[in-house]
Structure 1
């Protein structure tokens, strides 16, 4: 094969099909990254950052359900109790802890008069204990605005409550936030776990900003007390294990006005993921409840995954075929599409990762991009298998 023949563009049907397919799925991928995944970054960039007058901010009740979390409560609860906010209370519901939780709460209540704690009845069933605990906390709350987090989470700043309350002032009835992970560098698959947490956050935050909310996380979300009772509590998700956060928000979000906070001050942070097994357990809970989501979120992001793999497949097939038939222009064009997509992905996720404190990514982004859907599918199968065995 001479050099000039190698440079000749082959207008054969297979080449056109491969190039058209690659370009089609390339375009879809750009739409996802530029018009969906980039939304939280642009939203935060354009947000009005002028501080609200304390006199206009409504009172807030922070609610935490805790079981055998005495160490975490001792570490993180003071950061919540010391928030820079004019009027708030913190309610901790003890779910039958057998550790030093009661002592920690009693000690802290001597210092903080706005800390209250109560208990779940000893005869409560284990399956819905978390839902019952939160219901008890909600009923005990003195204020209409309810802000939720976990005992193993810490506010990233002393303005955490203030950032959420400002969204309610705008007329929102539900407010969704983000929880970043603080992980030691020696933890296996650390960068991938941070990437996975970031992508999950970008998905639900983006669609919420675009007016299509579909979930929230119990580590950082808020809603009005009246909504809880209008929806008859957790009755719509009572027959499903877990789901007191993501599934509950999935059921009620489309009926109410939803706000989003992604400022650094509004985030919570957690070092709960201290090894791969802990992260897997958390992922199992999320992936199990995800299959019960209503709305089109699964189709939206399922199509993103579908188009991504078909793009990669088209590029690889085209390069192999192009080399085989000696079509260098086709090979160069496909490589160019691959490089442009990666550059856009790196740009969008790079901005988002800095905002969400999710690490830095380079060529490893390609591996994470390909591996994450397989990992989620594997975890989802395992989670469903475990649930069936328990039954």
Structure 2
């Protein structure tokens, strides 16, 4: 039995090395991305529901972007606070702001996809750039960097959106490591020709891509997924590209309690079951290999079975993954989380198990 477990453990290490060597390394070791400005007309789209504190801080940062031809489409999704009032003041202040007022619709009540659809239809530019109301760009060249990835063939651009750093907070490092790992996965798979998701905090595509798949209609009944489910359906090797130039990053304030972050993660994972079969399979295989990599050596070492070989495989796997993720973290300006890599990975794996189990027994809340 122990021999079988050893062979299984070796297979798990091989699977892990396959992911890191043949998938993730394609992004981690890619050369730095240059920005060749194209100045194509862009509509920046922001959908907000009860975000008065955030929009008053972040919308002016969008309006001050160093870009010659863009508009901002502000969508108020039936807010009950002062969000709409603030948007109306911005509309008076900035001539390139367009305001879309969404009223509650009985058929689509509380559905962000309905609000976004109205905003997309109201946009006057051919190319769309999305971010959330609680996000802000790292530079005034955010639009320039993201739009530079478009070409005649590439009409979908997947960007990176991270979380602010909070010093002396282990939870903050855990959140940012999870965000880093997720980004490495979807950016790497996109780079090798299999885009399967994107994040709505930093995502761009040509308007025709939206209408080519009839918008969100195929998953309108699913509250989440205006970003990842749309990309899973619309993106492919010919039309999708990635953007990882530092000027293209956006950031949000992270959760400050484990409970709030756990609730957020519960919402995020609910859409994965609706991905294409291959995407679900590769994600499941990666997570399973991570979990078994932790469990199997414990069994082998408990019986001191081939312990030198087992420890050598553990050390080699950690060294290799540390290098690959370290280079990726350097590209995405998240190097400090890698100092805690083995500990954070261990906690994250069992947190994900907890999320999956919890979601089986109860449904998470979605768009406010």
TM over 0.5: yes
- Residue 52 (str. 1) matches residue 36 (str. 2): yes
Q: Equivalents in 1 of 2:100, 2:260: separation in Å?
A: 28
Contact 1:152–1:272, Cα closer than 8 Å, also in 2: no
Give 1:375's aligned residue: 351
TM-aligned CA distance change 1:389 to 1:36, over 3 Å:
closer
Post-superposition offset of 1:87: 0.5
TM-aligned CA distance change 1:225 to 1:33, over 3 Å:
same
Q: Equivalents in 1 of 2:95, 2:327: separation in Å?
A: 41
* 1:337 counterpart (299, 313, 331): 313
Q: Equivalents in 2 of 1:18, 1:71: separation in Å?
A: 54
- Residue 112 (str. 1) matches residue 88 (str. 2): no
Contact 1:61–1:142, Cα closer than 8 Å, also in 2: yes
Structure of higher CA gyration radius: 1
> 1:113-161 CA deviation, whole Å, 9 max, x = no partner?
1111120024455645311111111111111101111000001111111
TM-aligned CA distance change 1:17 to 1:386, over 3 Å:
closer
Post-superposition offset of 1:300: 1.2
TM-score, normalised relative to structure 1: 0.85
- Residue 387 (str. 1) matches residue 367 (str. 2): no
Give 2:15's aligned residue: 28
Q: Equivalents in 2 of 1:19, 1:121: separation in Å?
A: 60
Moved more, 350-359 or 296-305: 350-359
Q: Gaps (5+ residues) in structure 2?
A: none
TM-score, normalised relative to structure 2: 0.90
SS of equivalent to 2:276: coil
Give 2:103's aligned residue: 121
Q: Equivalents in 2 of 1:307, 1:277: separation in Å?
A: 27
Post-superposition offset of 1:359: 4.9
Post-superposition offset of 1:101: 1.7
Give 2:84's aligned residue: 102
CA RMSD of aligned residues (A): 2.5
Post-superposition offset of 1:219: 0.8
Give 2:212's aligned residue: 230
Moved more, 381-390 or 337-346: 381-390
* 1:357 counterpart (316, 333, 345): 333
Contact 1:350–1:360, Cα closer than 8 Å, also in 2: no
Q: How many residues align?
A: 366
Moved more, 249-258 or 288-297: 249-258
Contact 1:128–1:242, Cα closer than 8 Å, also in 2: no
- Residue 295 (str. 1) matches residue 277 (str. 2): yes
Contact 1:174–1:222, Cα closer than 8 Å, also in 2: yes
Give 1:218's aligned residue: 200
TM-aligned CA distance change 1:46 to 1:363, over 3 Å:
closer
